């Protein structure tokens, strides 16, 4: 058992390291791009931009039908058992997604005037929306190709192309727009161009890569294709839920409130997404590894892997949560300007919702590994209905704070139900003895920092110093309360090997407190 867990954790660290590097790079570039957009364009134009990039993923999701989750699982599950089935899954996911992407691109283009006038009450959205519709086929192809490679444990493909290359292309175009003082419409063209060039580069790479990705000349939904649709379609609901929780408040705000409100809310939402960074980075590689453990009926090994990863994910995410929750006004003022300080309360509320899935770990992905796609669909439906209902009720009287409350409550509800069901099926839960101690240590230190910050006047430059003090005290409590597991050493060894550093001193200290 220990050997299997050790090997699984090392694979996760290796894969997550690649994903984390790509996502850090991409999120850094995207963050810089957003700051430039906020500083260069008006708050209303940033609101329009935020609304557009919130709408686009919904059309992409409908085009892929959940294949970006279903295909990797099916490919990794059948690898070595039925290679012909693997090939058919690949062909079906590509064929169906391409057809649907073209259809939804045309639909969005033709309905742009209707959406602008009737739903968002602004004619200024029509032309940018029509331009953005052309990005759907390129976006879909990049997602599907990346998912196919992920089924072969090739998480690096998505990282290099969708995360890094596309973000870099958009930032380069944005700098060009600012230098030559071009208009807001050119910004939308640049966004579409970044996906088009990324798609072409990925197609060229795929042609030269020796994976069984032979596309059939004729469209035909084979039995494996129908099986993929049946397996993946319920996952579409879960995908939609996650996007609704992430972007739904932005869209509903566009219906009830002026576009300036969308800019405020999007600024807060952008920052809270960083709390989920480690969790989403780990999901990509955990799925195929956990699928292989489950296919061999290694449930105990899967459970221990789940617990160790959740502990590390929470440890990595908590400092970001702490800074955003305790000092939202300082962060917003420094990054976006004084006009965005009014989003402080919404940012604080959102951080509570986003830390909750981090606290409970990889529950939905684990349900997917078990093949419980219909259950995921039902949980997603409940969460989406609750979220939409709360937005409709809370946004008119409370504005962006109402949207934040709806998001937080829905995140908590969905993750509680998912974790409860996962425990009922497998007895898998994240709360080992050392993890509980770690959670307690974290919130005790947070309370101390809150008391200190209420006494002295905080400035932005103090936050890095405060973070260093927190981490120092955090690790001291980690040792004193003996919250270190053997698997923590294994993960550290894997990190040491992949990063090429020598952590011998840290390992010696940790071993004394196991």
Q: Where are the alpha helices (DSSP H) in 152-276?
A: 155-158, 166-179, 184-207, 223-243, 249-256, 259-272
Tokens of 160: 């290099």
448-479 pLDDT tens trace: 888 888 888 877 777 888 878 887 887 777 67
Burial call 129-163: b when 16+ CB within 10 Å, e when fewer: bbbbbbbbbbbbbbbbbbbbbbbbbbbbbbbbbbb
DSSP state of 133: G
**Which region among 179-193, 218-232, 394-408 has the lowest average model confidence (pLDDT)?**
218-232
pLDDT at res. 218: 53
Scanning the structure block, which residue is given the tokens 């958009």? Answer: 170
pLDDT at 248 over 50: yes
19-23, 135-139, 372-376: which is most confident: 135-139
Q: Which residue has the tokens 């892929």?
A: 64
Q: Report how far residue 470's alpha carbon sits from residue 442's, in angstroms, rounded to the nearest whole number.
A: 9
Q: Give per-residue pLDDT as tens, 110-131.
A: 998 888 888 777 788 889 999 9
Structure confidence at residue 455 (pLDDT) = 83
pLDDT bracket for residue 495 (50, 70, 90)? very low
Residue 201 has pLDDT above 70, yes or no: yes
pLDDT at 92 over 50: yes
Percent of the chain surpassing pLDDT 70: 80
pLDDT at 27: 76
Phi-psi map region of 482: left, alpha, beta (phi>0 left; psi -120 to 50 alpha): left
Please report which confidence band the pLDDT of residue 325 belongs to, taking 50, 70 and 90 as the band edges: very high
Q: What is the mean pLDDT of residues 338-343?
A: 85
Q: Mean pLDDT for the chain?
A: 80
pLDDT the model gives residue 348: 94
Q: Which residues, other chains included, contact 92 with Cβ-Cβ below 8 Å and sequence gap of 6+?
A: 221, 222, 224, 225, 228, 229
% of the chain exceeding 90 in pLDDT:
20
**380 band by pLDDT with thresholds 50, 70 and 90:** confident
For residue 141, name the pLDDT band (cuts at 50, 70, 90). very high
**Predicted local confidence at residue 492, as pLDDT:** 54
pLDDT-wise least confident of 77-81, 119-123, 188-192, 300-304: 77-81
Do residues 374 and 350 touch, judged by C-beta distance below 8 A?
no
Q: What is the mean pLDDT of residues 328-333?
A: 88
What single string gives the DSSP state of each residue in 300-358? HHHHHHHHHHHHHHHHHHHHHHHHHHH-HHHHHHHHH-GGGGGGHHHHHHHHHHHHHHH
Residue matched to tokens 């453990």: 293
pLDDT digits (tens, 9 = 90+) for 26-48: 778 888 898 899 888 888 888 88
Read off the pLDDT of each residue in 184-200 and give the average, rounded to a whole number. 94
């Amino acid at each position: 058992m220990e050997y299997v867990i050790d090997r699984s954790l090392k694979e996760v660290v290796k894969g997550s390291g690649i994903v984390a590097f790509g996502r850090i790079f991409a999120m850094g570039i995207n963050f810089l791009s957003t700051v430039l957009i906020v500083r260069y364009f008006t708050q209303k134009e940033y609101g329009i931009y935020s609304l557009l990039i919130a709408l686009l993923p919904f059309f992409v999701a409908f085009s892929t039908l959940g294949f970006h989750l279903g295909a990797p699982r099916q490919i990794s599950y059948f690898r070595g058992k039925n290679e012909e089935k693997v090939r058919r899954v690949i062909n079906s996911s590509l064929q169906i997604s391409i057809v649907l992407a073209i259809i939804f691109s045309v639909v969005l283009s033709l309905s742009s005037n209707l959406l602008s006038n009737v739903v968002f009450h602004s004619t200024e959205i029509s032309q940018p929306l029509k331009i953005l519709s052309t990005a759907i086929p390129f976006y879909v192809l990049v997602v599907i190709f990346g998912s196919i490679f992920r089924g072969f444990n090739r998480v690096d493909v998505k990282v290099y192309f969708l995360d890094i290359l596309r973000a870099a292309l958009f930032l380069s175009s944005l700098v060009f727009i600012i230098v030559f003082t071009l208009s807001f419409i050119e910004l939308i063209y640049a966004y579409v161009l970044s996906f088009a060039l990324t798609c072409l580069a990925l197609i060229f790479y795929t042609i030269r890569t020796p994976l069984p990705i032979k596309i059939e000349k004729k469209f035909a939904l084979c039995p494996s294709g129908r099986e993929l649709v049946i397996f993946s379609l319920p996952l579409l609901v879960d995908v939609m839920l996650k996007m609704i929780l992430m972007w739904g408040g932005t869209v509903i705000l566009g219906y009830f409130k002026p576009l300036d409100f969308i800019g405020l809310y999007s600024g807060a939402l952008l920052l809270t997404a960083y709390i989920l960074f480690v969790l989403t980075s780990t999901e990509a590689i955990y799925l195929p590894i956990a699928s292989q453990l489950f296919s061999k009926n290694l449930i105990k090994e899967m459970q221990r892997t789940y617990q160790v990863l959740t502990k590390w994910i929470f440890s990595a995410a908590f400092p970001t949560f702490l800074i955003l929750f305790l000092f939202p006004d300082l962060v917003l003022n420094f990054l976006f300007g004084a006009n965005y300080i009014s989003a402080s309360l919404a940012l604080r509320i959102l951080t509570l919702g986003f830390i909750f899935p981090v606290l409970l770990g990889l529950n939905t992905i684990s349900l997917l590994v078990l093949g419980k796609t219909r259950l995921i669909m039902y949980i997603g439906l409940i969460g989406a209905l609750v979220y939409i209902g709360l937005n409709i009720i809370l946004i008119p009287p409370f504005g962006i704070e109402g949207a934040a409350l709806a998001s937080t409550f829905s995140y908590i509800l969905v993750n509680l139900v998912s974790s409860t069901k996962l425990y009922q099926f497998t007895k898998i839960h994240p709360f080992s003895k050392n993890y509980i101690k770690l959670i307690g240590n974290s919130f005790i230190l947070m309370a101390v920092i809150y008391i200190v910050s209420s006494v002295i006047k905080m400035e932005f430059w103090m936050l890095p110093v405060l973070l260093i003090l927190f981490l120092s005290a955090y690790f001291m409590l980690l040792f004193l309360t003996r919250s270190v597991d053997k698997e923590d050493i294994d993960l550290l060894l894997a990190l040491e090997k992949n990063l090429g550093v020598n952590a011998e001193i840290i390992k010696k200290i940790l071993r004394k407190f196991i």
